[in-house]
Amino acid sequence: MFDLSTVTNWTHEQLLSVMPQWLTTTVECILVALFLLLAYSVLAMIYIMYERWVCGWIQCRRGPIRVGPWGSLQIFADVFKILSKEIITLWHTDRFLFFLAPFLVVIASVMTFACLPWGKGFQIIDFNVGAFFIIAVSSVGVLGILLAGWSSNSKYTLIGAMRSGAQMISYELSVGLSMLTMVCLAGTMSITGIVEAQQDGWLLFRGHLPALIAFIIYIIAANAENNRGPFDLPEAEHELTAGYHTEYSGIHYGLFYLAEYLNLFIVSGIAALLFLGGWMPLHIPGWDGFNTVMDYIPSTLWFLGKTFFMTFIFIWIRWSFPRVRIDQMLALEWRYLMPIGLVNLVVMALMVTKDWVF
């Protein structure tokens, strides 16, 4: 399988040959940041269109079809519109916090995004507590949402922010527990390590029942973590008009929107990483010919394919279910998901020590 680190290493050496070490690092950082932001915004656009097409298909509609072939230019029109809209500043608000909030949400999302393994040797941050880092930085986003709701000085946004605080902090636990269950099975917290551990079979299959339980809990909790239906209570349109971002306009609103779609990519990417082998091709032990053929498919395609598949599941869930109520949502987490997740983690640990996994 082609290792993309050869490309990055070559670039590194080329740069090093013409400039000193400190400048090389600076240039590399800038290049990486550029790539990251570019990928971030392009993916967000692709994701918005993806969701619109899938949701149109689910709802017996055609989705966007007018602008460009199959409506593919629609998103550019939307982005242009949102960029050109006035940013409305409100009276009696905490200006600093009000403007800070969308950036906090985006920063949290970009930092988590940077952890994803895009392909073999194609990763920005990779260190030995990668999974832990993901859990940590993804939690910063809730701060932005709370700030947005609080600083808008509106009753609707405040209710949205309170709901969001309760919801995201609760479901963080389940996301964390199901991630730890898989870390336990993989035996490492390093993201590359987790992917490498799936060389002979994805963790979802290797861990059988506990992994499946963790997978389902992860899907539910990630939906909630992402404020997507059926857990879109913080912005429950039909109750709170737009929840915590009711008062935002123009690109500030756009940033929330952007982060929301990128978070969808991130949770799908993490699901692909933890359960479906990340960029690792589908390998079936013993089927050498099949495995070789699978290896010819580039690793980045594997990763993106799995992520898009997971996203499809998330979109499917979102457009099929009604919304839960706040008390039902909290009861689901604290009474069911978290206890099950905890027991599941213990069972997984036992299974790993007894070597009952494949």
Nearest to other proteins of 238, 354 (CB atom): 238
Instruction: Provide the minimum distance between the beta carbon of 315 and other proteins in the complex, in angstroms, as a whole number.
Output: 11
Instruction: Provide the minimum distance between the beta carbon of 213 and other proteins in the complex, in angstroms, as a whole number.
Output: 18
Binding range to other proteins, per CB under 8 A, among 108-116, 133-141, 224-232, 273-281: 224-232
What's the one-letter identity of residue 158?
L
Per-residue binder mask for other proteins (CB under 8 A), 320-339, x = binder: xxxxxxxxx-----------
Nearest to other proteins of 35, 321 (CB atom): 321
Binding range to other proteins, per CB under 8 A, among 18-26, 227-235, 262-270, 334-342: 227-235
Per CB under 8 A, which of residues 26..55 are in contact with other proteins?
55
The DSSP call for residue 321 is: S
Nearest to other proteins of 57, 103 (CB atom): 57
The reply to whether 236 sits near other proteins by the rule CB under 8 A is: yes
Per CB under 8 A, which of residues 57..96 are in contact with other proteins?
58-61
The reply to whether 250 sits near other proteins by the rule CB under 8 A is: no
Task: Compute how many other C-beta atoms are within 10 angstroms of the C-beta atom of residue 195.
Answer: 26
Tell me which of 238, 286, 353, 354 binds other proteins, using CB under 8 A.
Answer: 238
Instruction: Provide the minimum distance between the beta carbon of 240 and other proteins in the complex, in angstroms, as a whole number.
Output: 8
Instruction: Provide the minimum distance between the beta carbon of 141 and other proteins in the complex, in angstroms, as a whole number.
Output: 22
Taking CB atoms within 8 Å and a gap of at least 24, the contacts of 246-249 are 246/152, 246/154, 246/156, 246/157, 246/160, 247/88, 247/90, 247/93, 247/98, 247/152, 247/154, 247/157, 248/102, 248/148, 248/152, 249/85, 249/86, 249/87, 249/88
Instruction: Provide the minimum distance between the beta carbon of 214 and other proteins in the complex, in angstroms, as a whole number.
Output: 21
Question: 3-state class of 122 per DSSP?
Answer: strand
Are 299 and 273 spatial neighbours (Cβ–Cβ below 8 Å)?
A: no
Per-residue binder mask for other proteins (CB under 8 A), 155-174, x = binder: xx--x---------------
Instruction: Provide the minimum distance between the beta carbon of 323 and other proteins in the complex, in angstroms, as a whole number.
Output: 3
Instruction: Provide the minimum distance between the beta carbon of 345 and other proteins in the complex, in angstroms, as a whole number.
Output: 26
Burial of 291 (0-12, 13-18, 19+ CB in 10 A): middle
Instruction: Provide the minimum distance between the beta carbon of 155 and other proteins in the complex, in angstroms, as a whole number.
Output: 5
- Which tokens hold the place of 34? 């550029």
Hunting for tokens 């600076």 — which residue is that? 26
Is there a cis peptide before residue 281, judged by omega within 30 degrees of 0? no
Nearest to other proteins of 230, 250 (CB atom): 230
Are 201 and 358 spatial neighbours (Cβ–Cβ below 8 Å)?
A: yes
Total residues binding other proteins (CB under 8 A): 27
Nearest to other proteins of 225, 232 (CB atom): 232
Tell me which of 27, 239, 298, 349 binds other proteins, using CB under 8 A.
Answer: 239
DSSP annotation string for 182-248: HHHHHT---HHHHHHTTTTS-HHHHTHHHHHHHHHHHHHHHHHHTT-TTS-GGG-HHHHTTGGGTT-
Instruction: Provide the minimum distance between the beta carbon of 63 and other proteins in the complex, in angstroms, as a whole number.
Output: 12
Per-residue binder mask for other proteins (CB under 8 A), 300-319, x = binder: -------------------x
Sign of CA dihedral 278, 169, 216, 181: positive
CA separation for the pair 13, 17 (Å, rounded) = 6
Question: 3-state class of 119 per DSSP?
Answer: strand
Instruction: Provide the minimum distance between the beta carbon of 52 and other proteins in the complex, in angstroms, as a whole number.
Output: 12
CA separation for the pair 318, 325 (Å, rounded) = 15
The reply to whether 146 sits near other proteins by the rule CB under 8 A is: no
Question: Which residues would be at the binding site for other proteins (CB under 8 A)?
Answer: 55, 58-61, 155-156, 159, 229-230, 232-233, 236-239, 241, 319-328
